[in-house]
């Protein structure tokens, strides 16, 4: 699901456009997120960023994450009151998640058919579908030998 390897420059551009400084910390956090395929939480992002440069604090990670969310570069995944997890967000593509209830692993998938039905449901209720969130919780099917 990782197609856009240029988040860093994409963010740099967004910062420039919005008159926001592209700081050292923001660059590193952008890189960390770009290089993470595993939906890390804020603390994990902090640890990874901090390993690259110890000048980065958890507070900055939170502030930066929020900024990136506003720029639609980052997507927050809420998992039942626990720590929120994050993933890079590409402009063109949308996917949902299947969560392995045993391992916590998150698998991404795309299903247009469901998306279309969602739009239809919303319309029928008198709403324009603006966004949606869908998570499936599953148990791995073990192959019989």
Partner DNA sequence: CTATGTGCAAAGGGTTTGCAGGGGA
Partner DNA sequence: TCCCCTGCAAACCCTTTGCACATAG
Residue 22 interacts, among a copy of itself, DNA, none and using kind-specific CB cut-offs from 5 to 8 Å, with DNA
What is the nearest approach in angstroms of DNA to the Cβ of residue 88?
Answer: 17
Residue ranges that bind a copy of itself, judged by CB under 8 A: 76, 78, 80-81, 84, 98, 100-101, 107, 109, 111, 113-114, 117-118, 121-123, 125-141
87 contacts 123 by C-beta, under 8 angstroms: no
β-strand 96-100 against 74-77: which pairing, if any? unpaired
State the minimum distance, in angstroms, from the CB of residue 123 to a copy of itself: 8
The helix or strand, by DSSP H or E, that contains position 109, with its residue range, turns out to be strand 106-109
133 binds DNA (CB under 7 A): no
Instruction: Give me the helix-helix angle, 42-52 and 58-70, nearest 10°.
Output: 110
Tokens 């000048």 belong to residue: 55
Helix (H) or strand (E) holding 48: helix 42-52
Q: If binding is defined by CB under 7 A, does position 62 make contact with DNA?
A: yes
The stretch among 41-49, 98-106, 112-120, 126-134 that binds DNA (CB under 7 A) is 41-49
Helix, strand or coil for residue 95? coil
SS3 106: strand
Q: Which of the residues 15 through 34 are near DNA (CB under 7 A)?
A: 15-16, 20-26
Shorter beta-carbon distance to a copy of itself: residue 20 or 110: 110
- Which of a copy of itself, DNA, none does residue 57 bind (CB under 5 to 8 Å by kind)? DNA
């Amino acid at each position: 699901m990782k197609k856009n390897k240029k988040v860093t420059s994409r963010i740099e551009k967004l910062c420039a456009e919005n008159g926001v400084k592209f700081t050292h910390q923001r660059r590193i956090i952008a890189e960390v997120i770009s290089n993470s395929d595993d939906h890390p939480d804020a603390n994990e992002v902090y640890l990874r960023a901090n390993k690259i440069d110890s000048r980065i604090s958890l507070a900055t990670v939170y502030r930066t994450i929020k900024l990136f969310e506003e720029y639609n570069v980052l997507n927050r995944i809420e998992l039942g009151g626990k720590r929120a997890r994050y993933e890079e967000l590409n402009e063109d593509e949308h996917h949902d998640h299947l969560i392995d209830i045993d391992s916590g692993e998150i698998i991404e998938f795309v299903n247009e058919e469901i998306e279309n039905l969602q739009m239809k449901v919303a319309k029928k209720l008198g709403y324009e579908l603006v966004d949606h969130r869908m998570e499936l919780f599953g148990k791995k099917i073990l192959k019989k030998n």
